[in-house]
């Protein structure tokens, strides 16, 4: 039971992510997550506006099932598998965020300052999430992949575009955490 209750270390999680990639390929498909954004746009009728979305989404039914699995897995995890969301953060991180005005740093997975109910219904909070989402959607499609497709599948198959994309991920991520977050909070 302890294993179910406790957080999993990186050396458990990393190999299990690699196992997920292995199974995804073994099942005959290319591992990745962000193409689903395209499929969902196609299903919502985006093909009427742009030829880019004129695709047969039924060919991607397997990936949509994976997404449904992610949703179910998230619900199972939140409800049953993580009784304690405390994160063992670096004290420097905790101090930095406390200085920015974050409360209860590391006491739960998602800070109230970004994910709290009152915050997401405020104008600022809503747009922080919405615009982040826009960047994620636009960026993954332009770059041709996300963390799964580029950082894991692409890097491990030694593809140069994936290395460049991951460099881009870090340029963006560093700008976001070092400059944008201190401005926003």
Nearer to other proteins, 38 or 57 (CB): 38
Which structure tokens are listed for 160? 């140069």
**Is residue 153 within the footprint of other proteins (CB under 8 A)?**
yes
Which structure tokens are listed for 85? 């969301």
**Is residue 49 within the footprint of other proteins (CB under 8 A)?**
yes
Among 50, 59, 83, 101, binds other proteins (CB under 8 A): 50
Q: Please give the residues from 3 up to 42 whose contact with other proteins meets the rule CB under 8 A.
A: 7-18, 20-31, 33-34, 36-38, 40-41
**Is residue 98 within the footprint of other proteins (CB under 8 A)?**
no
Buried b (16+ CB within 10 A) or exposed e, 35-64: bbbbbbbbeeeeeeeeeebebebeebeebe
Q: Write the interaction track for other proteins spanning residues 99-118; mark x where CB under 8 A is met and - where it is not.
A: ------xx--xxx--xx-x-
Site of tokens 């039914």: 61
**CA distances in angstroms from 107 to 83, 111, 121, 129, 135, listed in the order given:** 12, 8, 22, 21, 28
Q: Residues in contact with other proteins, total (CB under 8 A)?
A: 127
Least distance in Å: CB of 1 to other proteins?
Answer: 14
**Is residue 90 within the footprint of other proteins (CB under 8 A)?**
yes
């Amino acid at each position: 039971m302890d294993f179910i209750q406790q957080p999993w270390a990186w050396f458990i999680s990393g190999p299990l992510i690699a196992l997920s990639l292995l199974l995804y390929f073994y099942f005959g498909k290319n591992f990745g997550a962000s193409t689903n954004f395209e499929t969902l746009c196609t299903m919502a009728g985006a093909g009427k506006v742009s030829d880019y979305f004129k695709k047969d989404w039924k060919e991607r039914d397997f990936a949509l099932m994976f997404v449904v699995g992610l949703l179910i897995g998230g619900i199972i995890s939140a409800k049953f598998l993580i009784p304690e969301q405390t994160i063992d953060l670096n004290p420097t991180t905790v101090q930095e965020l406390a200085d920015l005005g974050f409360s209860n740093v590391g006491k739960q997975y998602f800070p109230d300052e970004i994910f709290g109910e009152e915050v997401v219904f405020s104008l600022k909070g809503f747009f922080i999430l919405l615009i982040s989402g826009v960047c994620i959607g636009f960026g993954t499609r332009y770059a041709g992949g996300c963390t799964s497709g580029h950082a894991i599948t692409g890097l491990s198959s030694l593809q140069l575009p994936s290395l460049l994309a991951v460099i881009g991920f870090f340029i963006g991520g560093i700008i976001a955490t070092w400059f944008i977050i201190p401005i926003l909070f």
